Amino acid sequence: MTAPEFPDQIQLTIHPDLAAKARHLTADTPETRMQAVTAWADWNVTQGEGPFAAGIFDLTDGTCISAGVNRVVSSTCSLAHAEVMAIMLAQQSLKCFSLAEKGRYVLTTSAEPCAMCFGAIPWSGVCQVEYGATRADVEAIGFDEGPKSKTWEADLVERGIQVLGPLGRTKAVAVLQAYARKGGLLYNGGAGT
């Protein structure tokens, strides 16, 4: 049996068409930002990927800094959730590891962050989180949200990060349900569940 590869790097990407569309977007209200990320989530399903999308926006003028979509399956990477993708791409764009150094930024996500993405938020430097579908909505179609405190919103507020949601829930849930109807893959970790 040949030894497995021992990689020294990983490449994570979003589709260039999505990046091209998002880079000229301005969305200066929570509602318009949610409409945008929900549309990206819907588009991601058509690409054979998970039903989740997120973006980082400048809170002062609504400029879109990055678009993230779930890339777990195509990247062979359980960490490639939409929120993590959006955060990493925004940090590359602004060339800083904490967005707070550059201004006031919001993470808008089509669904409530899972345990991992919740954990990533305080390190991202965003000052606000907006979400669409709830944990119950995500779990209703079979995805695992992980071990996250029931007080997660208050925990973020305590760190100076405002939380708005659920927003535009009906549309966000419709994307999840469409994914479930088409028999989309449930890429949960498995262990411990």
Q: Which residues would be at the binding site for Zn ion (CB under 5 A)? A: 81, 114, 116-117
Alpha-carbon torsion angle 43, 111, 168, 85, nearest 10: -50
Distance CA 164, CA 193 (A): 29
| Nearest approach, Cβ of residue 110 and Zn ion (Å) | 11
Whole-number Å distance between alpha carbons of 183 and 174? 14
CB of 172 to Zn ion, least distance (A): 14
Angle between helices 169-181 and 30-46 (to 10 degrees): 10
Please, what is the minimum distance in Å from the beta carbon of residue 59 to Zn ion? 22
The nearer residue to Zn ion, 24 or 121, going by C-beta atoms, is 121
CB of 15 to Zn ion, least distance (A): 19
Which CB atom, from 25 or from 116, has the smaller least distance to Zn ion?
116
Question: Which residues of the chain form beta strands (DSSP E)?
Answer: 53-58, 64-69, 105-111, 128-133, 162-164
Q: Between 27 and 87, whose beta carbon lies closer to Zn ion?
A: 87
Contacts of 36 (CB under 8 A, 6+ apart): 22, 25, 27, 55, 64, 108
Distant-in-sequence, close-in-space partners of 85: CB < 8 Å, separation ≥ 6: 12, 14, 54, 66, 68, 69, 70, 71
Find the length of the chain: 193
From the CB of 150, what's the least distance to Zn ion, in Å?
17
Which is nearer to Zn ion, 79 or 103 (by Cβ)? 79
CB of 136 to Zn ion, least distance (A): 16
Task: Identify which of residues 103 and 146 has a Cβ nearer to Zn ion in the complex.
Answer: 146
Closer residue to Zn ion, CB minimum distance, 62 or 187:
187
